[in-house]
């Protein structure tokens, strides 16, 4: 095995947006270590790990597969080891999304029992609509009675031992038939994760195809189970998202306000922080401390959750979590779970920032732990804001520098909101979208999701691909850090983005008043993308299965196990997935062939690796064309240049 040594990158090669580049430079000047400098010290990353052929599942190992040692001590070959490792990644990703969903389902149960403290059911129409979908009696019953039955049903999705997930009933009938035929209908989410660990431990399941099929089964329990539950319960408790205006990038931090940044994934506490940060007493306290007010801003998916419901601004995406601290202007960063780097307290130590962890399952050395008590949620949130205000006096003006970057955006496109935008209150439906796809004005729909990764220039792939696709009349749906990348780029502003869209897409977007890039929420809200695709199938005219509609998923700069699970549930749902860089599977030609080719015979979709944005755009177009061809809707549109008169006439 050889390792490559590369020269350290310049700050401009680290990130696409100028604000991040400025903060990478400031971190260097302030002698602060960030993921970018650590990427350099980690540059000789393990080639065995990268190919997935290192096994440390038992203590006869660790074993590494080479030409001279083609089997581990137990006899496992590269195919078994690679498949086991991937299955464990899927189980990790599924567990993360689903445990988030479980916490919310438990909160819904407590609210329904009158033990939810400051939480209430905020969106009763959504509660009742979901109850009807899940066949829970709702007519003539109180909201709390309905919520209790629904919460128990959701909790049973975790513990069910024999019954397949109830949520699978929301998928097209034909797709459910595919899952049944392939033996991958998931039972309870917890059972799927436990079985994944059991099957991949020493001496159990050794057939790579059999292991990988369970990876798809486990992932389905995420996308159609745990993630879906998280999105639904968040909508019931905190309100269903609808389009809101806000701003994104580090410039949303205030030079003269107390800045509190929330980071992570679970929205329960941040919902209360959104209320507490606007409380009159808190604002008076901030003014008494010499500040002009309180700025609450977010990083990662906690940010997306409070953006799509309250319009709270976004400070940045995943790789800006340390850079936000490097501004020297953050009084407190409140972290919950997932994607919060353990380095945050050491970066914060160079400034005056206090890092506060709030989830009892997630502690970090150097952070203050303030356990979040859901029964006293608002009081906890106010305590945190007070601490942040008290910390304002510790700012070191000489160490402060807030980049002036802040881009306007519109976010909050739930499936219901898209339907409403497309058809209005009385004719809300996906019909206009399906018609536009069938007529070729919109070539297809592409979901761009996932994280950033310091191996590549932050946001470059995401933003280049997004521009290329909308220019070619592809409607883009976004979640997670990919959505934040577009926000910083100004591509979530209807006006700016429409300028960059192709004529057919622009015509449709202008007619119905939507931007060509729709921010649908956080990582668990990838289930909303599946829901939108299902609506397109149900609406008719684009085939009777998810594998038929002209749709593709892309994870350009992904880094998390959660992205592996998301990719697997998209493919198992019949949606092709483009990865900007491959899974750690290159050590097995059979596993690579199975995931990138053979699964097409099972699911009608597979994985594809495109390491640059332009080749990804070409490939996506080819995949969309293939589906359009099969549907018989790929006739070339007559070329027409649209003037303002044409557009007004749409």
Binding mask 375-394 for ligand SF4 (x = CB under 6 A): --------------------
Q: Show Cβ contacts of residue 235 under 8 Å, excluding neighbours closer than 6 positions.
A: 123, 126, 241, 414
Interface pick for ligand SF4 out of 18, 39, 47, 73 (rule CB under 6 A) = 73
Residues 519, 412: contact at Cβ < 8 Å?
A: yes
x-marked contacts with ligand SF4 along 80-119 as a string, rule CB under 6 A: -x--------------------------------------
Which of 198/640 has CB closer to ligand SF4? 198
Task: Figure out which of the listed residues 24, 53, 63, 126 binds ligand SF4, where binding follows CB under 6 A.
Answer: 63
Is the separation of the CB atoms in 510 and 650 below 8 Å? yes
631 is a site residue for ligand SF4 (CB under 6 A) = no
Among 213, 102, 94, smallest CA distance to 157 is for: 102
The minimum distance between CB 484 and ligand MSK, in angstroms, equals: 8
| Shortest Å distance, C-beta 56 to ligand SF4 | 6
Q: How far is CA 575 from CA 549, 570, 649, in A?
A: 9, 5, 35
Minimum CB distance to ligand MSK, residue 323 (Å): 14
With CB under 5 to 8 Å by kind, the binding choice for 61 among ligand MSK, ligand SF4, none is: ligand SF4
Among residues 11, 39, 47, 74, which is the contact residue for ligand SF4, using CB under 6 A? 74
Stretch that binds ligand SF4, among 40-48, 55-63, 273-281, 408-416 (CB under 6 A): 55-63
79 Cβ contact list (under 8 Å, min separation 6): 208, 588, 590, 591
Does residue 143 bind ligand SF4 (CB under 6 A)?
Answer: no
Considering only residues 193 through 222, tell me which ones interact with ligand SF4, judged by CB under 6 A: 202
Q: Under the criterion CB under 6 A, does residue 100 sit at the interface with ligand MSK?
A: no
62 near ligand SF4, rule: CB under 6 A: yes
Among 14, 26, 72, 231, binds ligand SF4 (CB under 6 A): 72
CA dihedral 384, 386, 390, 394 (to 10 degrees): 40
**3-class secondary-structure state, position 472:** coil
Report the candidate in 539, 536, 624 with the shortest Cα–Cα distance to residue 576.
Answer: 624
* Contact call for residue 450 and ligand MSK (CB under 6 A): yes
Cα–Cα distance between 340 and 383 in angstroms, integer?
22
Residues 207-236 that bind ligand MSK (CB under 6 A): none
CB of 502 to ligand SF4, least distance (A): 51
Note whether 176 and 168 are within 8 A (CB): yes
The site for ligand SF4, by CB under 6 A, has a size of 14
Residue from 108, 481, 505, 568 that binds ligand MSK (CB under 6 A)?
481
Give me the 253-292 binding string for ligand MSK, x by CB under 6 A, dash otherwise. ------------x---------------------------
Q: Say how far apart CA 299 and CA 315 lie, in whole Å.
A: 6
Q: Nearest approach, Cβ of 581 to ligand MSK (angstroms)?
A: 14
CB 100 → ligand SF4: shortest distance, Å? Answer: 31
C-beta of residue 213 within 8 angstroms of C-beta of residue 232: no
Residue 339 site contact among ligand SF4, ligand MSK, none (CB < 5 to 8 Å, cut-off depends on kind): ligand MSK
Choice from 58, 170, 185, 275 touching ligand SF4 (CB under 6 A): 58
Coil, strand or helix at 401: coil
Site for ligand MSK contains 300 (CB under 6 A): yes
Q: Interface with ligand SF4 by CB under 6 A: which range of 54-62, 415-423, 494-502, 544-552?
A: 54-62
Go through 316-338 and write b for each residue having 16 or more CB atoms within 10 A of its CB, e for each that does not: bbbbbbbbbbbbbbbbbbbbbbb
- Which lies closer to ligand SF4 via its Cβ, residue 76 or residue 546? 76
* 56 touches, from ligand SF4, ligand MSK, none (C-beta below 5 to 8 Å by class): ligand SF4
Residues 6+ apart with CB under 8 A from 130: 150, 232, 236
Closest CA to 392 of 351, 341, 347, 453: 351
Among 457, 562, 590, 608, which residue sits at the site for ligand MSK (rule: CB under 6 A)?
562
Question: Can you read off the two tokens belonging to residue 606?
Answer: 């597979």
- Report if residue 339 touches ligand MSK, rule: CB under 6 A: yes
Helix, strand, coil percentages for the chain (3-state, nearest 5): 50, 10, 35
Looking from the CA of 457 toward its CB, the CA atoms found within 13 Å total 16
Query: Do 405 and 18 touch, CB atoms closer than 8 A?
Result: yes
User: CA of 455: how far to CAs of 26, 245, 342, in Å?
Assistant: 20, 32, 19
Q: Binds 594, which of ligand MSK, ligand SF4, none (CB < 5 to 8 A, cut-off by type)?
A: none
Q: What is the CA radius of gyration of the chain?
A: 24
Taking the complex as a whole, the smallest distance from the CB of residue 464 to ligand MSK amounts, in Å, to 18
Residue 76 structure tokens: 């496992």
Pairwise CA distance, residues 68 & 74, whole Å = 16
Buried/exposed code over 131-153 (b: 16+ C-beta within 10 A; e: otherwise): beebebebeeeebbebbbbbbeb
Q: Which of ligand SF4, ligand MSK, none does residue 244 bind (CB under 5 to 8 Å by kind)?
A: none
Give yes or no for residue 318 binding ligand MSK (CB under 6 A). Answer: yes
Q: Determine the size of the site formed for ligand MSK (CB under 6 A).
A: 13
Closer to ligand SF4 by Cβ: residue 205 or 459? 205
Q: Which spans of this chain sit near ligand SF4 (rule: CB under 6 A)?
A: 55-58, 60-63, 72-74, 76, 81, 202
């Amino acid at each position: 095995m050889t390792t490559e040594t590369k020269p350290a990158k310049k700050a401009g090669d680290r990130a696409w947006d100028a604000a991040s580049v400025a903060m990478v430079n400031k971190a260097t000047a302030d002698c602060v270590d960030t993921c970018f400098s650590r990427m350099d010290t980690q540059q000789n990353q393990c080639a065995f790990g990268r190919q997935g052929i290192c096994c440390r599942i038992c203590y006869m190992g660790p074993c590494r597969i080479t030409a001279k040692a083609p089997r581990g001590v137990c006899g496992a070959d590269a195919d078994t080891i690679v498949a086991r490792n991937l299955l464990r990644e899927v189980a990790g990703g599924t567990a993360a999304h689903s445990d988030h969903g479980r916490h919310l389902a438990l909160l819904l149960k407590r609210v329904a029992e009158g033990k939810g403290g400051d939480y209430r059911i905020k969106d009763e129409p959504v509660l009742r609509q979901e109850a009807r979908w899940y066949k829970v009696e709702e007519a003539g019953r109180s909201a709390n009675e309905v919520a209790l039955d629904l919460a128990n049903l959701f909790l049973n999705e975790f513990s069910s031992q024999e019954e397949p997930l109830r949520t699978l009933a929301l998928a097209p009938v034909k797709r459910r038939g595919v899952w049944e035929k392939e033996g991958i209908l998931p039972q309870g989410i917890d059972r799927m994760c436990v079985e994944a660990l059991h099957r991949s431990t020493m001496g159990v399941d050794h057939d790579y195809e059999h292991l990988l099929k369970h990876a798809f089964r486990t992932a389905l329990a995420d996308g159609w189970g745990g993630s879906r539950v998280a999105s639904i319960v968040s909508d019931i408790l905190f309100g269903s998202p609808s389009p809101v205006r806000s701003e994104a990038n580090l410039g949303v931090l205030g030079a003269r306000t107390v800045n509190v940044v929330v980071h992570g994934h679970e929205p329960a506490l941040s919902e209360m922080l959104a209320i507490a940060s606007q409380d009159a007493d808190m604002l008076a306290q901030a003014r008494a401390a010499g500040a002009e007010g309180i700025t609450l801003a977010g990083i990662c998916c906690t940010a997306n959750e409070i953006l799509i419901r309250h319009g709270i601004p976004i400070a940045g995406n995943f790789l800006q979590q340390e850079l936000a601290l490097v501004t020297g202007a953050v009084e407190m960063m409140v972290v919950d779970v997932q994607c919060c780097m353990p380095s945050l307290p050491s970066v914060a130590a160079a400034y005056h920032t206090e890092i506060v962890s709030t989830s009892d399952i997630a502690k970090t050395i150097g952070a203050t732990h303030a356990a979040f008590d859901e029964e006293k949620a608002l009081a906890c949130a106010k305590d945190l804001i007070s601490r942040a205000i008290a910390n304002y006096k510790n700012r070191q003006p000489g160490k402060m520098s807030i980049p002036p970057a802040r881009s306007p955006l519109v976010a909050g496109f739930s499936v219901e909101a898209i339907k409403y935008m497309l058809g209005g209150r009385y004719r809300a439906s996906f019909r206009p979208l399906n018609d536009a796809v069938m007529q070729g004005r919109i070539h297809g729909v592409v979901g761009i999701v996932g994280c950033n990764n310091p191996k590549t220039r932050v946001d470059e792939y995401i933003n280049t691909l997004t521009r290329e696709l909308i220019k070619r009349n592809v409607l883009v749906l976004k979640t997670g850090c990919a959505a934040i990348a577009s926000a910083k780029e100004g591509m979530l502003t209807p006006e700016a983005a429409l300028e960059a869209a192709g004529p057919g897409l622009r015509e449709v977007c202008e007619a119905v008043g939507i931007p060509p890039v729709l921010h649908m929420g956080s990582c668990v809200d990838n289930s909303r993308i599946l829901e939108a695709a299902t609506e397109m199938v149900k609406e008719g005219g684009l085939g009777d299965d998810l594998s038929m509609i002209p749709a593709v998923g892309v994870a350009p700069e992904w880094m998390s196990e959660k992205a592996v699970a998301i990719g697997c549930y998209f493919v198992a749902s019949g949606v092709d997935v483009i990865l900007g860089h491959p899974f750690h599977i290159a050590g097995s030609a059979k596993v690579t062939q199975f995931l990138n080719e053979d699964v097409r015979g099972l699911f009608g979709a597979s994985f594809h690796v495109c390491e640059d944005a332009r080749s990804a755009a070409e490939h996506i177009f080819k995949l969309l064309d293939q589906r359009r061809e099969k549907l018989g809707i790929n006739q070339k549109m007559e070329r027409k240049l649209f003037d303002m008169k044409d557009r007004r006439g749409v």
